[in-house]
Structure 1
């Protein structure tokens, strides 16, 4: 689990095990299986749309959301917490006098949502007095009454808590029996029931499901007090409880026997491997700094893609709208005009809101735009950004890319990162064959700590497992590895990408952005890729 993810969940495990307000109110587990009647939601939406138009709005959209979450948190043979939360209400966004206005309410009556719509229109009117140019909203067709649902086989909300607890405690026991001294395992289940209506004529009902099962295993050398950890190699996914069925066809075994996973996860198997690999870290030699060719597993590369492709190609960052939260972007508009060489000719990076199993997969975004896949970097050249309805005209586009999102009914929707991924290589290539040509390299599996500058240009990335490659063979496990990069140099150093048979997703439940801050869930896919001549540093700390 990334540090930022841990911090987002700190309130679940300290301070008397309080529930952070972001997650909503605590409810009984049985309530996680209920829904709001769709006819009821349509009546509320129509009341808000009518009130907004009567108040002078030229455009209005209404989002009625019911956000359900369950957290099961364990350590060794103890259950630390089980929390079920619900947050339900309506958010109304309008354009009046050419300006945006937004208001939200948890009073789900016709008069309650109508009052919020009138408030949104009043806010828009007030905003228009200082706005220098009217909002230009790209067209979006009215879809009428449509629906979309994450294609799950088993709703995780319907699985008894006891079954989830038994799974996690069994995972912990397996890790301890395999040599771990400590182990934390968790299960996070999300169901977003989202209803969208607009004056464009859309009434869109969506049922979105996600699941994540992170764990951290720790091994201690009791003689020295030295310890090492290994996080699980699972990915958060847009799936149901079937993700935990351990389907063998979804396993990916590295040339040196490390197992990681695609759209199915054997958590107990990974816990046992984590314990053994964490203990092996205790005696692994520290890396010698220098230039290495890096072979990066998809369980690692997703985070690099997230930070130095996904974020810098968000158009609002490019335009400077996000300067106060994690910076802007080096990939300015002039670079698109000049077909900037973002990477080598092998590098094809794309944005995607439809990929099955991904965290960001939905049928329609939060302003009623049908989702799609589109190119960002094609054969190494920068060709596009991620854009929503009121930004599309800046790039000369007629339509939004469909990547608008709000993390709650009470939050205004805005431009968020789509699933951004590295396309697999077009030529058949296995990991073993890729490694055969590496004379002096390091094979990195799993994501670790990272840092990146405000323009997403200079960065440093760690990982979970590191293996030396000498003369085409994996030799020994290493420790204390991190590599330093400049984004364009890194992607231009890409010399090989494995084919689609190696393609896998990674991702984050807690991608932060905005003021006030919001989080979104997003996936990033890739096959194993090679990057030549990267600068590797030693991260070991001296106790002297």
Structure 2
């Protein structure tokens, strides 16, 4: 790492510590004009890679030409801490020679540079083939010819003047401070992935993908005692443009106790004001009494539980043990799936994977193997029915096509199986958040993400949250502190008793979901409506330190 890059990273603040490595592309001016990959020129370069791979004995080859734009803004109270604007541009080439994978990448995006990378990929495959015991088996994929797909956006966030973005962050900070916050860190992450994919099977696919994530943390302090409390933003990373920041009234959901929840757009200033008030309220809120409670979980909270207890354990490579050395394995082993009656959750639990969900982080037209994306069931009526698989895995679970969930976080990274959007289907009957709370006699309403812990098999876990409210006799009464719940994946999903209808359905997301060695990140969303889980064990985190 260059000294300049190190100093740049060090100045970004705590929220920047998990940024992907491809952040360190070439720095470009903040006001650089926004452009996209030229499909015609990309096709000519792709053909160089494919033809070279064939000449080196490849039975299959694909090439990804990628241009990755990243813009990150960091503020604190009344000042800008840092601005980052980078571009990374290069080519990744993957081949099968002698039944074995080979991969190479280059930032020399020229015919000669691409030819050399293709030759290197083939040489690596030939070397690997000496140790390969079983040839790679790819399920078929359709040839799509020349195709284009773009994230449907109303306003490109990269075209919005930086001054306008900074004004929004700083005005939100000021509003929180005026409401009594002592500190606020406020950040904005923008990503544009421009990817051109081509393969020897005849697909030439150009995609332009946009993602946005505004996030802050508000801190309130009691000067007398020295205690402090924090409230994170209730935003969700989204596959959208600048329109996500418009905070349209029709996208807001009014909850109990004056709570406001956000759907397809987000009002940052309003959320910052609420955060300041709630952080102050936390300072005097009572500590929870441990015991069994009915939990009402907001989608912004439940999304993380879905991610950890459903998304990860149903990744087929994890099930097969490929991640054992790094991130663990899975309790949801193939023998359980083969019984066709493994009880993952209650009968109302329907969990599905979907790379086509509107506004989701994982929405694309085709994955990084040129497979058209789709929706499929993972858990149907509480029973485990499928996993997440790509072209060289699908035959293991008797599938005749890939699920379209292959992804690489950079042109320089090899693509592999990544989590698609994994979501809980909403209830089928009309049922609102208010209806749900009325039906709870002794419970806790949990909102937003907090600390969590889950074991290597994604089975035993503990989850916290951002905000906690006591529910007594069908009414939200007062705020609580020090709440976390403990369960295991099967027990938890079998305690699922009620799910609100589609009108309450919202997305949670993660910009930087890590996996693999060398580690890669991906962006993924998880949707749900407000959901109730009965009789879950709640602990007091202050007493369990």
Q: CA deviation at 1:440?
A: 1.0
Q: CA deviation at 1:422?
A: 0.2
1:182–1:217: 8 Å Cα contact kept in structure 2?
A: yes
Deviations 1:466-511 (A, max 9, x none): 0001111111100000000100000000000000000000010000
Q: CA deviation at 1:11?
A: 6.5
Q: 2:360 aligns with which of 358, 361, 369?
A: 358
Partner Cα separation in structure 2 for residue 515 and residue 19 of structure 1: 16
Partner Cα separation in structure 2 for residue 94 and residue 75 of structure 1: 47
Structure 2 match to 1:38: 39
Structure 1 match to 2:3: none
Structure 1 match to 2:12: 12
Q: CA deviation at 1:435?
A: 1.4
Structure 2 match to 1:286: 287
Q: CA deviation at 1:18?
A: 13
Partner Cα separation in structure 1 for residue 412 and residue 443 of structure 2: 49
Partner Cα separation in structure 1 for residue 18 and residue 338 of structure 2: 50
1:303–1:447: 8 Å Cα contact kept in structure 2?
A: yes
Q: CA deviation at 1:529?
A: 0.4
Partner Cα separation in structure 1 for residue 474 and residue 544 of structure 2: 32
Q: CA deviation at 1:260?
A: 1.5
Structure 1 match to 2:395: 393
Unaligned runs of 5+ in 2: 1-7
Structure 2 match to 1:504: 506
Structure 1 match to 2:188: 187
Partner Cα separation in structure 2 for residue 418 and residue 298 of structure 1: 17
3-state SS of 1:336 partner? helix
Closer, same or farther in 2 for the Cα pair 1:452/1:495, shift >3 Å?
A: same
User: Equivalences for 1:250-265 in 2 at 5 Å?
Assistant: 250-265=251-266
2:12–2:81: 8 Å Cα contact kept in structure 1?
A: no
Structure 2 match to 1:104: 105
Q: CA deviation at 1:255?
A: 2.1
2:504–2:530: 8 Å Cα contact kept in structure 1?
A: yes
Closer, same or farther in 2 for the Cα pair 1:385/1:51, shift >3 Å?
A: same
Query: Are residues 1:378 and 2:380 paired?
Result: yes
Closer, same or farther in 2 for the Cα pair 1:473/1:357, shift >3 Å?
A: same
Partner Cα separation in structure 1 for residue 9 and residue 543 of structure 2: 27
Name whichever of 87-96 and 319-328 sits farther off: 319-328
Structure 1 match to 2:5: none
Q: CA RMSD in A?
A: 1.7
2:349–2:382: 8 Å Cα contact kept in structure 1?
A: yes
Name whichever of 244-253 and 150-159 sits farther off: 244-253
**TM-score of the superposition, structure 2-length normalised?**
0.96
2:31–2:161: 8 Å Cα contact kept in structure 1?
A: no
Partner Cα separation in structure 2 for residue 174 and residue 19 of structure 1: 28
Q: CA deviation at 1:9?
A: 7.3
Partner Cα separation in structure 1 for residue 421 and residue 18 of structure 2: 32
3-state SS of 1:321 partner? coil
Structure 2 match to 1:446: 448
Partner Cα separation in structure 1 for residue 10 and residue 487 of structure 2: 31
Q: CA deviation at 1:197?
A: 0.2
Closer, same or farther in 2 for the Cα pair 1:465/1:13, shift >3 Å?
A: closer
3-state SS of 1:30 partner? coil
Partner Cα separation in structure 2 for residue 26 and residue 20 of structure 1: 15
Structure 1 match to 2:4: none
3-state SS of 2:81 partner? strand
**TM-score of the superposition, structure 1-length normalised?**
0.96
Unaligned runs of 5+ in 1: 1-7
Closer, same or farther in 2 for the Cα pair 1:10/1:255, shift >3 Å?
A: farther
User: Equivalences for 1:69-148 in 2 at 5 Å?
Assistant: 69-148=70-149
User: Equivalences for 1:365-514 in 2 at 5 Å?
Assistant: 365-514=367-516
3-state SS of 1:33 partner? coil
Structure 1 match to 2:308: 307
Closer, same or farther in 2 for the Cα pair 1:20/1:430, shift >3 Å?
A: closer
Q: CA deviation at 1:32?
A: 5.6
Partner Cα separation in structure 2 for residue 10 and residue 336 of structure 1: 46
Structure 2 match to 1:176: 177
Partner Cα separation in structure 2 for residue 420 and residue 149 of structure 1: 21
